Structure 1
Amino acid sequence: MDTPLSTRPPATRSGLPGAAQTGMPDPPDFRGDHTTDVRLLSAYVQAATELTAGLPARPERSPDQLDGAEQVETAARRARHRFLDLHSGRVYDELTAGRGRHVRVDELAYTAADQYPGLVPTRARIAADRRVPQAAKSGGEVDQGILFAHLLGVRDTGEHLLRSMLAPTARALELLPEFRRTGHLDLGRATIHRDGPVATVTICNPHVLNAEDDIVVEALETAVDLALLDDEVSVGVLRGSVLSHPRYSGRRAFGAGINLTHLYTGKIGFVDFMLRRELGYIRKLIHGLHHGPEHGSEHGLFELPGGKPWVGAVDTFAIGGATQVALVLDRVIAGSDAYFSLPALTEGIVPGVANMRLGRVVGRRMAQRLIFFGDRVAANSAEAAALCDEVVAPEEMDGAVAAAADRLADPAVPSNRRMLHLAEESDDLFRTYMSRYALEQSARMHSPDVVAKLERTWVHRRQHATGDGRPEPTRDAPVPA
């Protein structure tokens, strides 16, 4: 039988380090002096790291080892919370040159790791985690969640971070001259094509039902930025590409949400997917771009142009994250054979900002049926009227989308949509939600029940592999009907 954490003998491959005999040192006595508290936090986290350094990888640990490591990690995280309660503003100011720079979430996370040892994992540690399955990750993303919960939880730092994430990406600015010249770009997992005043952004991940992963999110944000930056574009259209899966050959699909295989294999990042997706391209669909203080007062009324209207073309299905995206679009056209679903409990994670927006759109009871019970809503049902604006035969989708885009190109639309968004989703509401989301989602990603659900999904997929032994190219199992 494994001995308790406090009495474990010196380290072996399967035991705890010898330092565990005395347990964790007393929590640091933070007094508010920044320099001293940085040193105290670093020393305390280093002690925690040494206590668990001799343990095997998480999947190989005994129950007692798992429990002991969790106690040590929890103590270290409490110290991070206390430190950030006192110093989050100072930390953010140092990372952003006194808020003179608009720094994106990935740079914030890794610069914080360099300047505040022990606060969040280093780039190297996160890179190592990306090479192992989700079940074997170090859990350092939970510490990133703590950092962003505090930065977003304070109004001054949170508002600055929200504006920073509305800035156009460097890749979009680099590609903008070519897009203005040609009106078309292939970004790998997304394309953008301009036809008159309409820019169509197409998700291109057909072998996994247009599911999203880190690479897709990067491509979509670049495409959305280009549509917003190009003055010739008045309206955007978001659509999924034609699928290559045999069951849907020749048919488009709006999207299948998060790529669960990538989540299972550790390739979905908390910062690069979970945070970037919500603070980046999805929020830009609502609010457009923020170009920095040189384009207006940093806190003035005129700093945000309010974006451009977007049409969503829901072919075949909008599963999970695809339904989340549909909630923020100005006009949603669905094929009569399509459906919406939000299987949050099947996946075990928080469905983005849907928990905040969905109830407002469909009502609390229906939101709970979608999130908790996995209800599907057929586009041609009465319930779907809250999720889409128009339902047409599949062969009529192109014409209906074009007509909606033409209507939304009216010059009066931008002002009215700005006022609608102002009335229903304030920056304070969104910021507060995202602060808590950072904590909840980072913890859910590493929760044992999420790992178990992913494991069951993966085993099911292997059991339904194709004849040559390769898993079927699906987002999830079973394949959506």
Structure 2
Amino acid sequence: MTLLDKDGVRLTADGAVATVTLANPAKLNAQTPAMWRALEEAGRVLPGDIRVVVLRGEGTSFSAGLDRRMFEPEGIEGEHSFTDLARASDEKLDEAIAGYQEAFTWWRRSDLVTVAAVQGHAIGAGFQLALACDLRVCADDAQFAMRETSLGLVPDLTGTHRLVELVGYARALEICATGRSVHAEEAERTGLANLVVPAGELDAACADLAAALIAAPRDAVVETKALLAGASTRAYEEQRAAERAAQARRLRDLAGLGD
């Protein structure tokens, strides 16, 4: 069932699994503000029974990053160019960037598990969109690169926090500051990718993972995700208490004593 199809974004649902497809393969799924608005909308219109969202790119690349027209003085028709943004007030500039970030934030919702299926290039904004998801399954031809610094910019689409979480500060700095490519083998070895498969098996691997993720009771997965997501910011004793509280809720629910 197709729920959304606009501005290079297509959202479909099949049972408890939704698929968000970046659908502009002729431009290697280059990202625009219109695409970001459509991605944000996709998060808003997800049916309540969706448990897993798979994010994929149509064609040979997941996403080659920003549409380069954003860097041109005339920009994209109907959108602010970077030159326009630079001339805006501090408040307007901050508001604009915050709006762009919204397309990258909902993927970590506690009631969902999100999976990026990455093939070919995931550059800049494409890299950060893959990082926005909980899990990453990569084709063996996948290449990640954070090229913002080479353009005189910084990664600002929520990717820095997750990258440091996954690979550590030193490696994250080196990846971002040099803009080099991280190939699939290194991505798997360093924890950036959960799984690497032959390119022809990417869709099947994601389907298998989605099936495994929805096999367990939803509330148990939601509680477990919340525990793990908060573990790095809690002290050891706080995490123990959080585990006890979560388990108490699960036991009461299983016994039919929940709210």
TM superposition score category, shorter chain reference:
0.7 to 0.9
Unaligned runs of 5+ in 1: 1-181, 243-250, 288-305, 427-481
Q: CA, structure 1 residues 184+356, in 2 after alignment: closer, same or farther (shift >3 Å)?
A: closer
Letter of the 1:256 counterpart: A
Go from structure 1 to structure 2 and tell me whether the alpha carbon gap of 1:332 and 1:374 turns closer, same or farther (over 3 Å shift).
same
Aligned to 1:320: 124
Per the alignment, residue 31 of structure 1 pairs with none
Residue 38 (structure 2) aligned to one of 219, 222, 228: 219
CA distance in 2, matches of 1:368, 1:404: 31
Identical pairs, percent: 31
Consecutive unaligned residues in structure 2, runs of 5 or more: 86-92, 235-259
Which protein is bigger by CA-based radius of gyration? 1
User: Aligned pair 1:256/2:58, yes or no?
Assistant: no
- Could you tell me whether the CA contact under 8 Å between 2:188 and 2:196 is conserved in 1? no
1:276 matched to 2:81: no
1:238 to 52, 55, 59: 55
CA deviation after TM superposition for structure 1 residue 200, in Å: 0.3
Partner of 1:141: none
Higher percent of residues as strand:
2
Task: Give the counterpart letter for 1:277 in structure 2.
Answer: Y
Give me the whole-angstrom Cα distance separating, in 2, the residues matched to 1:388 and 1:200: 19
Question: Secondary structure of the residue that 2:30 maps to in structure 1?
Answer: coil
1:218-240 Cα shifts (integer Å, max 9, x gaps): 0111112222xx12311111111
CA contact (8 A) 1:331 1:404 kept: no
SS of equivalent to 1:200: strand
In 2, the alpha carbon distance for the partners of 1:285 and 1:425 equals 20
List per-residue Cα deviations over 1:366-402 (Å, max 9, x = no partner): 1122111112111023665421100000110111000
Deviation at 1:330, TM superposition (A): 2.0
The whole-number CA distance in structure 2 between the counterparts of 1:425 and 1:256 is 33
Alpha-carbon offset, residue 322 of structure 1: 1.7
CA distance 1:420–1:207, change in 2 (3 Å) = same
CA distance in 1, matches of 2:155, 2:187: 24
Match of 2:143 in 1: 339
Whether the aligned pair in 2 keeps the contact of 1:344 and 1:374 (CA below 8 Å) is yes
Change (3 A) 1:425 1:327: farther
Q: Using the alignment, how far apart are the partners of 1:346 and 1:379 within structure 2?
A: 22
In the alignment, the residues of structure 2 paired with residue 319 and residue 361 of structure 1 have an alpha-carbon distance, to the nearest angstrom, of 17
Give the alignment's TM-score, normalised by structure 1.
0.42
Q: For residues 334 and 371 of structure 1, what CA distance do their matches in structure 2 show? A: 20
Cα distance in 2 for residues equivalent to 1:413 and 1:203: 27
User: Could you tell me how far apart the structure 2 residues matched to 1:216 and 1:273 are?
Assistant: 15
* Alignment length (residue pairs): 215
Q: Structure 1 residue aligned with 2:166, among 335, 341, 361?
A: 361
Is the contact between residue 2 and residue 10 of structure 2 (CA under 8 Å) also seen in structure 1?
Answer: no
Q: Amino acid of the residue matched to residue 185 of structure 1? A: L
Bigger helix fraction: 1
Structure 1 residue aligned with 2:26: 207
Residue pair 1:316, 1:337 contacting (<8 A) in 2 also: yes
Q: Aligned pair in 2 of structure 1 residues 272, 186: CA closer, same or farther (>3 Å)?
A: farther
- With over 3 angstroms needed to count, the CA separation of the structure-2 counterparts of 1:424 and 1:277, relative to structure 1, is farther
SS in 1 for 2:53: strand
